[in-house]
Amino acid sequence: MRNASARNSGEGFGGGINAPLLYAELHFTAWCYNTPGLEDLQFVNWVLINKGDSAWRRTFTGVVVDPDLGDGNDDYIGCDTVNNINLGYCYNATNNDAM
């Protein structure tokens, strides 16, 4: 969508960005296998294409995960920033979970 006036502030998680527009095209594919050893894995492929006239400099992307462990209202997530093993984790805030 190249027309900033056609956007509204309710779009996206951040309330929408009206200017400057990123002009990004995202191709996303996700798949799984029902094969022993691979049944607990999810594979994703991202292709992010700059459709604008300006080069992206110093551009960073990331993936945010919001796992629900039982009842999602009492979950905490974290990551290991000390051992550099790219470990993320989720745990319950209490020992009692209705779900």
Q: Render pLDDT for 48-89 as a digit per residue (tens, 0 to 9).
A: 999 988 898 888 888 877 888 888 888 888 888 888 777 888
Pairing of strands 75-79, 43-50: unpaired
Give kind and range of the element (H or E) at residue 29. strand 24-31
Question: 83: which DSSP letter?
Answer: S
- DSSP bridge partners of 29: 45
d(CA 47, CA 4): 24
Which has the higher per-residue pLDDT, 11 or 3? 3
pLDDT for 4 equals 58
pLDDT tier at 1, thresholds 50, 70, 90: very low
**Is 7's pLDDT higher than 70?**
no
Question: What sign does the CA torsion over 40, 79, 90, 14 have?
Answer: negative
Domain boundaries of the chain, sorted by first residue? 23-92
